Amino acid sequence: MNFTGANILSVEQFDRDSIAEIFATADRMLPYARRQKRTRVLDGAILGNLFFEPSTRTRVSFGTAFNLLGGEVRETTGMESSALTKGESLYDTARVLSSYSDVIAMRHPKSGSVAEFAQGSRVPVLNGGDGANEHPTQALLDLYTIKKELAYHGHDVDGMHICMMGDLKFGRTVHSLSRLLAMYNKVRFTLISPRELAMPDSVLDVLAQAGHQVTVTDQMSGSSDADIIYQTRIQQERFTTPQEADMYRGKFRLNSEIYTKHYKPNTVIMHPLPRDSRAEANELDNDLNQNPNLAIFRQADNGVLIRMALFALTLGVADIVDRYETEVPWFSDKRNV
């Protein structure tokens, strides 16, 4: 696809070639994100960072990515401070706010709203999450992380075995990631969840049609040769009764003991973050924090690279980033240990 001037609204718009282009661009962003050098290619450009729904880390990640390319960020957060509540159409909002910036990153609680906004926008729009619908930059950073983590162990996405665990019904991230993975070859999926929170048929159909091997289960056992475990949170409110919730308590949880018992030593652990670190959460325990296979913070770091890549591509500067390089004179050694 031709990225220049394009909107990034859905994982559906990509093929393997366009994903490869995004990832190759993200790779070239690493020295800037690590502050080994600095670029000013977008000096003077403005990101309109529109978060009509709160999401601290996605918002800051977009803003940081734009700053690292040399640009400025004008931010709008919260629904209440917006004219949208006074009956303004998304078309009007888009026509006006897009004229204030060179590119828009937008999150909104309503499904389809970002695509609707994009129709009125005069600059490229990046979907930062529109309700239950899509969150394409999250799916891309997840896939990019899988690719990099597997490459470290000498493996590839084609032929890998991934376990997705937790709430697979409402978890938007696992749906989008599955759709992306469907484009690869011979992936094995083990989908572990309470029956009530199983992966929707619409996603299962995509995987089946693409010829992947899918196992649906509510047991962790039998997935010991997984290359990746992708853990998502089960929210107590998803169950109709507390008794039901109790029945599943602790069965879809990872801690050091469960990890060691069930998985091979190099299995990579992922999670879309934030995780609930309270003892009663039964999600992903802190005793795995020092485990080198815990990739959750590398995942967050990769989000900046992916967003830098998408800004550079949609604004047509991916190939000239290094023409605007300067040095980094300040201390930055602590970040890369």
58 is catalytic: yes
Alpha carbons 22 and 1: distance in angstroms, whole number: 11
Q: Name which of residues 308 to 337 contact a copy of itself (CB under 8 A).
A: 314-317, 320, 324, 326, 328-335, 337
Candidates 25, 39, 93, 135; catalytic one? 135
**SS3 state at 275:** coil
Contact region with a copy of itself (CB under 8 A), list: 49-57, 190-198, 212-220, 257-265: 49-57
Alpha carbons 134 and 230: distance in angstroms, whole number: 18
- Cis before 194 (ω within 30): no
Which is closer to a copy of itself, CB of 177 or CB of 317? Answer: 317
Q: Name which of residues 290 to 309 contact a copy of itself (CB under 8 A).
A: 297, 300-301, 304
Least distance in angstroms from the C-beta of 26 to a copy of itself: 15
Q: Name which of residues 230 to 289 contact a copy of itself (CB under 8 A).
A: 273-278, 281, 286, 289
Least distance in angstroms from the C-beta of 125 to a copy of itself: 11
For the residues of 177-216, what is the DSSP string, one character each?
A: HHHHHTTSSS-EEEEE--GGGPPPHHHHHHHHHTT-EEEE
Contact region with a copy of itself (CB under 8 A), list: 55-63, 165-173, 208-216, 253-261: 55-63
Which is closer to a copy of itself, CB of 68 or CB of 182? Answer: 68
Q: What are phi and psi of 162, to 5 degrees?
A: -115, 135
Contact flags string 5-44 toward a copy of itself, x per CB under 8 A: x-----------------------------x--x-xxxxx
In degrees, rounded to 5, the angle at the alpha carbon of residue 136 between the alpha carbons of residues 196 and 49 is: 120
Q: Name which of residues 111 to 150 contact a copy of itself (CB under 8 A).
A: 122-124
Cβ atoms 234, 170 nearer than 8 A: no
Alpha carbons 232 and 254: distance in angstroms, whole number: 10
95 is catalytic: no
Indicate which residues carry an active-site annotation.
57-58, 86, 107, 135
